[in-house]
Amino acid sequence: KSYRVAILGATGAVGTELLELLLSRDFPLSELKLLASPRSAGNSLRFGGEQLTVEAVGDRSFDGVDLVLASAGGSTSKQWAHKAVAAGAVVVDNSSAFRMDPQVPLVVPEVNPEAVVNHQGIIANPNCTTILMNVAVWPLYQVQPLRRIVVSTYQSASGAGARAMEEVKTQARAILQGETPQAEIFPYPLAFNLFPHNSPINDLGYCEEEMKMINETRKIFGDDKLRVSATCVRVPVLRAHSEAINLEFEQPFDVAKARDVLSQAPGVKLVEDWQANYFPMPIDATGCDPVLVGRIRQDLSHPCGLELWLCGDQVRKGAALNAVQIAELLVSKDLL
């Protein structure tokens, strides 16, 4: 059996990665449609040996399509997802538009694959930092109840899309030439700088990105009591996010046990060379499927605390790979 697939947002950072993953993972495709804004209509993108033409998304775009992988931002998803479902497609949506909708499964295949079964046309791909954290924390949570997660993120430019990555490079060149860097996509220069995540801030002082980590983790883990606090920061890294995670369990969690659990956990690669002080880094995580985890250690301030560090490719496991894994789950369960 093979499927007619459309990528909405095919020209973006995540869209181009989706193309690569459908090819490299040999997704059973009978047809691939590339959709984006009218700005890109007529451009062509390479898919294996073929050149495929990008179309502007429109009312007839989803006719006969089985699966839509959407990664064109929340407003575009809100505009098109229901139309795609009405046309008979299943939508795996990478935006935040539907994630907290109780009708919409929010899925990390390593954590809650069973949630796809109840889909009603739309399945949401979680926030990138949330996916990376959940892949690393879930296997430990399976062993022992967690009381609290405190996470600080070091997020790359790729989270804001292909144009944001270009902006950081342009800013770096400007600075090296003694010029003042300009910022358009980001509110402030990111090259040689960092700033708290640029999403809107609520009355409690948390930004949207931080609230996503809190609320989405609870939904994915199926634990609405789980206490999570996050501080999200943009750093001048092009691609791959990093996170420092503090976990407080009900009981002490033996470090050797944690290392053993994580060394066998799906989607995780342990990267720890204590002698060489070599641990996960964004440059090693870039283009890599697993979440790199290391620096697992006892929290000296709390007998039930563990500290760990991770890096994961935001564009891949944080977005495109997770979406393709959801699509593969749908295929394996005959839900398309």
Give contact residues for ligand A2P (rule: CB under 6 A). 9-15, 36-37, 39-40, 57, 72-73, 76, 161-163
Residue 51 C-beta: closest distance to ligand A2P, Å: 17
Q: Which residue is nearest to ligand A2P (CB)?
A: 12
The residue among 160 and 327 lying less far from ligand A2P, judged by its C-beta, is 160
Measured in degrees and rounded to the nearest 5, phi and psi for residue 79 equal: -70, -35
Provide the minimum distance between the beta carbon of 218 and ligand A2P in the complex, in angstroms, as a whole number: 26
Shortest distance in whole angstroms from residue 275 CB to ligand A2P:
40
Backbone Cα Rg of the chain? 20
Tell me whether residue 9 or residue 126 sits nearer to ligand A2P (CB atom): 9
Nearest to 133 by CA among 229, 3, 8: 229
Instruction: Report the C-alpha dihedral over residues 118, 123, 128, 131, rounded to 10 degrees.
Output: 20
Nearest to 239 by CA among 317, 187, 174, 173: 317
Q: Exposed, middle or buried: residue 119 (CB in 10 Å: 0-12, 13-18, 19+)?
A: buried
Structural contact between residues 292 and 312, judged by C-beta atoms closer than 8 angstroms: yes
* Options 119, 197, 232, 241, the catalytic residue: 241
- What single-letter amino acid sits at 65? V
76/156 with CB nearer ligand A2P = 76
Choice between 24 and 75, CB closer to ligand A2P: 75
Whether 232 is catalytic: no
Query: Helix %, strand %, coil % for the chain, to 5?
Result: 35, 25, 40
Quick one: tokens of 207? 């930004």
Active-site option among 128, 232, 288, 311: 128
Closer residue to ligand A2P in complex, CB, 57/107:
57
How far apart are CB 48 and ligand A2P at their closest, in Å? 20
Nearest CB to ligand A2P, comparing residues 13 and 168:
13
CB of 95 to ligand A2P, least distance (A): 10
Q: How far is the CB of 43 from ligand A2P (least distance, A)?
A: 8
Check if 197 is active-site: no
Q: Are 22 and 324 in contact (CB under 8 A)?
A: yes
Name residues whose C-beta falls within 8 Å of residue 237's C-beta, 6 or more positions apart in sequence: 154, 155, 156, 157, 282
Q: How far apart are CA 288 and CA 241, in angstroms?
A: 12
Q: What does the block give as tokens for 244?
A: 């420092």
- Is residue 111 within 8 A of residue 189, CB to CB? The reply is no
User: Which sequence positions are flagged as catalytic?
Assistant: 128, 241
